[in-house]
Structure 1
Amino acid sequence: MVGDGVNDAPALAVADIGIAMGAHGATAASESADAVILKDDLSRVSEAVRLSQDTMKVAQQSVLIGIFICIALMLIAATGVIPALIGAALQEVVDTVSILSALRARR
């Protein structure tokens, strides 16, 4: 639901995703919406959808990267090639790699 007025606030509140347009300040529409686009430009709605899809893709990739690296390290540790203490320390490396991968969403 995309709305821009006070009368849209109830619909924005119950919609799956509510987007308030041109809301300046604490209006009822902007307080009820999930997202607020400050300019009255409908092209910003499609840009927001694209941005959210890209962000979800980066988040899913970051989780998968972390899982695959973690599984690989667990298999290596299970064979006894690396001690458990080193494996635990490498978990911090996995966390750091996952976080750095997630930072790609800032672009």
Structure 2
Amino acid sequence: MAIPEWELNLFGAEPELLRPLEHNRYLRAAQALATSSTPSRLKLLHALIVGERTVIRAAMWADVPQTLARADLAALERAGMVRRVGEEWEPSDGHVIVLLHLALAHAHLALAAK
């Protein structure tokens, strides 16, 4: 399936993504997707994106137990998806934000199509 022209702006910053990459890049991408693939981790990422930066506030916003939130944030940190700055957590870069938004949009469209 060809990429629609209107979606090419997703690759504009890195046109190399239109060509096959080294296996290691796919491996790291798969690891990042696997690490973020629980509802609680996605909810915590969403909480961080909207500004809930402490474990307590992110856990409350995401309706996740604090012990699980601590463990999930630590796992996301090991995967390089979030970083800790003092007592606060934040997405490691804008790609994490885009990844979450695309996943949520895809889920919304998939549900709407049913």
Q: Could you state the TM-score of these two structures normalised by the residue count of structure 2?
A: 0.29
